Amino acid sequence: MHLLLALISIIAVWYRGDYRNWGKYYSTMQFIAIGNLTYNFLCANHWLWRLSPDAIKWFNHTLLEMSYTFITFPATALMFLSRYPEGQGKWRIFRHYAFWVGLYVVTEILLLLKGSILYKYGWSLLWSAAFDCIMFPFLRLHDKKPLITILISVPFTIYLLWLFGIPVHIPIENR
């Protein structure tokens, strides 16, 4: 299913024509990729969720995360921002957010039912849904005000590290 999601993301970006906007939204596509890389780096030994291979067993957790980091998540950011209903009223904007959050939640439910995602240390589908409700506004904010988004993201990340008891060890080299 993981590879299918990456393939669907590529096809959707191409079919909808959103690929034409990649230059405009490239920095936000990088922002979401860097966010996922940061999670994988900080939580390598204390992961809150972990992807497990479904169809192709040699496609391990690392390769799965790379497909999400460099294909699925940037494609999602591109599609979300390319069709953002700028100036079309609060109801349309709310529906846009609800669609994308709902899509992510339904996808994760399917992954959970297939056993393709595992949770630990208190993370759950509910936490993922709450995170999605924050992530999509952050993508929009990053598109408009990248520096502010980064400045907000740092304490938010530190808070989540603290909340879930993720040990962060800074190696100090002895000389």
Can you give the pLDDT at residue 171? 65
Phi and psi at residue 116, to the nearest 5°:
-95, 0
For position 175, what pLDDT does the model report? 57
Predicted local distance difference test score (pLDDT) of residue 58: 58
* Pair of tokens at residue 75: 């494609």
Enumerate residues 6+ apart whose C-beta is below 8 A from 5: 68, 72, 107
Residues 12 and 83: their CA atoms lie apart, in Å, by: 13
Question: So what's the pLDDT on residue 170?
Answer: 66
| Block mean pLDDT (10 aa), the chain, length 175 | 88 93 96 96 91 71 89 97 93 97 97 92 97 98 97 96 87 65
pLDDT of residue 1: 79
- Cβ burial 122-139 (10 Å sphere, 16+ → b, else e): ebeeebbeebbeebbebb
pTM for this model (two decimals): 0.90
